[in-house]
Each structure stands twice: as C-alpha cells, then as structure tokens.
C-alpha cells in the first residue's frame, strides 16, 4: 500500500503560471524526494529534502517540508509546457531497508 497522498490528483494551468502540489505521509521519515515522470516512463529525480530541512530550492523548484504535519509541497514557478508530467513524492523511513514509499502522484498539464 502507498503511504503518501498527493493533492491535487490533477492540475491544469497556463504556461507562465506557478504550480503547487502537496504530499502528505504517515510515518516519520529520514528524507523526502520529489520525482517527475513523463508519459509512464522512468522517474526523474528532482530534489531531496532531509527531515531537518524546511525548505530547499533548485532552479524553478521550491520544496518545503513540515515534519510536524507530515507534509511537503512542491512549487514550480513560471511553468512551461515541458513541465507537463506526473509528479510523485517518495519518503525514506528512519530505519530498515532503503526503500521508498511513493505517493499517488499529481498529474500536471501546462497549456501553451
């Protein structure tokens, strides 16, 4: 079963607008990562945020993490048509196997 839930399930915006997607998870984590997936292909690693970090930036991406609420958000600024994809959060537990628990994903469509 999947630990994470992402919200919204689908998002459609105009090129140039910002896109925000949220991820909630259930157990304590070591780190949280965001991935992008184009058309059912492999996952592309976007950004990793550690449990002791609150915010991280990478280019047009901004990720926040609130461990007290067990939630994270991914903001894509000035979106482009090429950002159209599914976005997943994945969490790594504090101990045990280095396995990632994925959320259900947000399908983002950026209209040109």
Shortest Å distance, C-beta 45 to other proteins: 6
Shortest Å distance, C-beta 16 to other proteins: 28
Which uninterrupted H or E stretch holds 18? none
Interface ranges with other proteins (CB under 8 A) = 1-2, 4, 30-31, 33, 35, 40-45, 48, 50-52, 88, 90, 92, 94, 96-105
CB atoms within 10 A of CB 110: 20
Shortest Å distance, C-beta 68 to other proteins: 18
Strands (E), 51-99: 55-58, 61-66, 71-76, 85-93
Residue among 9 and 18 whose Cβ is closer to other proteins: 9
- Burial class of residue 49, CB neighbours in 10 A (0-12, 13-18, 19+): buried
Residue among 89 and 110 whose Cβ is closer to other proteins: 89
């Amino acid at each position: 079963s999947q630990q994470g839930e992402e919200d919204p399930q689908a998002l459609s915006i105009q090129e140039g607008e910002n896109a925000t997607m949220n991820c909630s998870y259930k157990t304590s984590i070591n780190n949280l990562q965001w991935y992008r997936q184009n058309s059912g292909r492999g996952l592309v690693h976007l950004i990793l945020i550690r449990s002791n970090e609150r915010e991280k930036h990478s280019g047009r991406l901004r990720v926040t993490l609130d461990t007290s609420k067990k939630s994270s958000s991914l903001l894509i600024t000035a979106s482009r048509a090429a950002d159209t994809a599914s976005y997943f959060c994945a969490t790594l537990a504090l101990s045990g196997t280095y396995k990632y628990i994925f959320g259900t994903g947000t399908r983002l469509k950026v209209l040109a």
